[in-house]
Amino acid sequence: MYSAIVFLPILASAIAGLLGRIIGARASELVTTGALLVSAALSVVAFMDVTIGGHSHIIQILPWIYSGDLKVDWTIRVDALTGVMLVVVTGVSSLVHVYSIGYMHEDPSRSRFFSYLSFFTFAMLMLVTSNNFLQMFFGWEGVGVASYLLIGFWYQKPEANAAAMKAFIVNRVGDFGFALGIFGIFFIFKSLDFDTVFAAASGQVGHTFHFGSWDVDVLTTLCLLLFVGAMGKSAQLGLHTWLPDAMEGPTPVSALIHAATMVTAGVFLVCRCSPLFELSPTALEFVTFIGATTAFFAASVGLFQNDIKRVIAYSTCSQLGYMFVAAGVSAYGAAMFHLFTHAFFKALLFLSAGAVIHAMHHEQDMRKMGGLWKQIPFTWAMMLIGNLALTGVGIPVLGIGLAGFYSKDAIINSAYASHSHMAAYAFILTVVAAGMTSFYSWRQFLMTFHGRYRGQDHDAHASHDDHGHHAPALSEVHEAPLVMLVPLAVLGVGAVFAGIAFDHFFLGGNSAAFWHGAIAAIAGDGLKPIESEFPLWVEFAPFVLTLLGFGVAWYYYIAHPELPKQMAAKRGMLYLFLYNKWYFDELYDFLFVRPAQALGRFLWKRGDVGVIDRFGPDGAAWLTQVFTRGAVRLQSGYVYHYAFAMLIGVVALVSWFMLLGGAK
């Protein structure tokens, strides 16, 4: 069963990719989607087996690498942590496959698209079922390749190509740190097997090694290197710039990769390696700092974005920051709980946004929307549920709310109760980020579905944006086909009930049995903050700021819709700072892109053309031409010239032998 979960997607990917032109697009869709639905059903069975049943499995597929001390087998590890990820990955992926049948129905290359989707799912499954660091790195790089292919799927668009390359290059920075961490783990522990490394980790507490002129802590260094990899994949501050640009890919790609699966790989890595991180308070504090700062940063940038998908993309960055805050304060159960609930409501938001874009003839600018709720009421309802779940709407005293209410508040409460040096910083920033999340979420919702329609007048021709897309007449806006709406309904149910249904498994009294030691400290300090009593103001602070964010969004975009235009026209310093995403792209362009381009031009003009070509191919060609011209002149075609040359040769030879004989 477990092998089928992992290998069905890659089998389907191979069929669609290699035989797609033979069997046709429809057959490719059915093969890949059917394989993912079977894999998802088996994942639910596996989830029940390893969580409620209390079983865990390590299944050896085949021996892989045996070289000296390095012994790595290809295995499948299934425990509670893996079980959660199996449900998330296969569940979201199967729904995205179904949704894509409708969304991509006009694309002539959809066999290739579905092959890429299934290949990505296989790589992600290899990552989460790995039993050693090398196999995890294989899956880690596999999802990187798949994301490059999917983001740049519409390779005819320069923006898509640029976004794919940006994602690939930025992730190489994080992956380099991850690779160094793996090298260091093997150097210290002489093994890459999880159980072996984790069992020996406590013996390295307090040990240092010499690097340059410093003596650095072994475990802290290894954990920080691993976390650099997590920062890249999970788009944390500094390595986040690829994620918003990745919205150039088709919307189903955004939902699959950038909402629920690939970007959560970093959180999964930290939780899987919690036995290492628990032994390094410094590393945990750094994780907390980066997570809290990212949650605040991304939420602030999302305040004034106008592309409907980019708003959700920055929301993803922010929510991943929340997960790292939980992991940083040792609340690993809360981190995985938010990962679980986030998969439902963020995939719902992305796919709902895709339904809006589909209805708007591929228009993504919210400034050209408005008043759509009557035209697409089902999409309106699903987006409403997604927003309520994302903003964590619920009643604190009664403990009743949508999915995000349970997991997000658990993280905020864990930060408040933690004894970490970064706990207060994380608590303040996550609470403030909750208010900003409410504002940008409801701003997006109100700009899209309420107020007057701003696409065009009813009797006007379609208005085109800078990319050639057009906003249709309101009468032309229509609901998506049923094959796209069914996945929304399923995700909507999860966004409503995933929190209340699984709260006790992830965080409550059943959590110790649920995890079975899959995460360090989950039955100890990791649960205490969540089960403690909190001051009333702590429980109500996120709720109040959420209401405040909604009120401000309503005031600006419904009561006084002229105010945002006036504010944008003033181009104030704070507005420009947030609208331009804290100028990270401009800073990186100045520090890295332009110098790299200048170096490339120098090496091309001066090195390649000026030196190599001049003295290499061009120089050799010039010398060949010179000698050839001289040789041609010797070939006159006259017999007496050749006879004279032969005579000169005979005289030269005779003279040589005479002189040589005289010398003897």
Residue 525 scores a pLDDT above 60? no
Output 659 or 309, whichever has higher pLDDT. 309
Distance separating alpha carbons of residues 533 and 392, to the nearest angstrom = 20
Amino acid at 152: G
**Sign of the CA dihedral running 241, 245, 251, 253:** negative
DSSP labels, 113-170: HHHHHHHHHHHHHHHHT-SBHHHHHHHHHHHHHHHHHHHTSSTTSHHHHHHHHHHHHH
Return the pLDDT at 611.
77
CA distances from 533 to 395, 494, 536 (A): 16, 28, 9
- Is the C-alpha dihedral spanning 104, 105, 106, 112 positive or negative? positive
The tens digit of pLDDT for each residue in 488-521 reads 999 999 999 998 888 887 886 666 666 665 665 4
Checking DSSP bridges between strand 57-67 and strand 394-395, what pairing results, if any? unpaired
Using CB atoms within 10 A of its CB, is residue 211 exposed (0-12), middle (13-18) or buried (19+)?
exposed
* pLDDT at position 197 over 60: yes
Q: In this structure, what DSSP letter does residue 465 have?
A: -
Report pLDDT for 261: 76
Specify the range with the lowest mean pLDDT, choosing from 308-322, 338-352, 390-404.
Answer: 390-404
What's the CA gap between 344 and 346, in Å, rounded?
A: 6
What average pLDDT is seen over the chain? 87
**DSSP code string of 579-625:** HTGGGHHHHHIIIIIHHHHHHHHHIIIIIIIIIIIHHTHHHHHHHHH
Whether the pLDDT of residue 529 is over 50: the answer is no
Rounded CA separation 664/659 (Å) = 9
Cα–Cα distance for residue pair 20/150, rounded to 1 Å: 17
CB 455 within 8 A of CB 473: yes
Q: From the CB of residue 498, how many other CB atoms can be counted at a distance below 10 Å?
A: 24
Q: What is the pTM assigned to this prediction?
A: 0.87
Residue 158 has pLDDT above 80, yes or no: yes
Helix, strand or coil for residue 61?
strand
Residue 243: pLDDT band (50, 70, 90) is confident
Round to whole Å and give the CA distance between 24 and 35. 17
What pLDDT does residue 663 have?
53
Instruction: Retrieve residue 232's tokens.
Output: 């890249």
Which position has the higher pLDDT, 472 or 163?
163
Q: What pLDDT is attached to residue 530?
A: 52
* Other CB atoms within 10 A of residue 594 CB: 11
pLDDT, position 517: 59
Residue 464: the pLDDT is: 43
Alpha carbon 505 to its chain's center = 27
User: Rounded to whole angstroms, what are the CA distances from 131 to 146, 152, 546, 631?
Assistant: 22, 31, 41, 70
Res 430 pLDDT > 90: yes
Integer Cα distance of 151 and 165 in angstroms: 9
In order of 4, 184, 323, 438, the CA distances from 213 in angstroms are 51, 18, 35, 48
SS3 assignment for 315-356: HHHHHHHHHHHHHHCCCHHHHHHHHHHHHHHHHHHHHHHHHH
The predicted-structure confidence for 104-140, as pLDDT tens digits, reads as follows 888 888 899 999 999 999 999 999 999 999 999 999 9
Of residues 352 and 621, which shows the higher confidence score? Answer: 352
Q: What percent of the chain has pLDDT over 70?
A: 92
From the list 288, 254, 9, the residue with the least C-alpha distance to 127 is 9
- Residue whose token pair is 């819709």: 561
**pLDDT over threshold 50, residue 458:** no
Question: In residues, how long is the chain?
Answer: 664
Cα 235 to chain centroid, rounded = 6
Query: How far is it, in rounded angstroms, from Cα 471 to Cα 393?
Result: 32
Task: Write the secondary structure of 175-203 as one string of H (helix), E (strand) and C (coil).
Answer: HHHHHHHHHHHHHHHCCCEHHHHHHHHHH
pLDDT band for 662, please (50, 70, 90 cuts).
low
Q: Is the pLDDT of residue 470 over 80?
A: no
Q: Is the pLDDT of residue 454 over 50?
A: yes
**Which residues share a beta bridge with 470?**
464
Q: Which residues, 6+ apart, have CB-to-CB distance to 492 below 8 Å? A: 348, 381, 382, 385, 386
In a 10 Å sphere around its CB, with 0-12 CB exposed, 13-18 middle and 19+ buried, how is residue 568 labelled? middle
Instruction: Check: CB of residue 92 under 8 Å from CB of residue 11.
Output: no
Q: What pLDDT is recorded for position 661?
A: 64
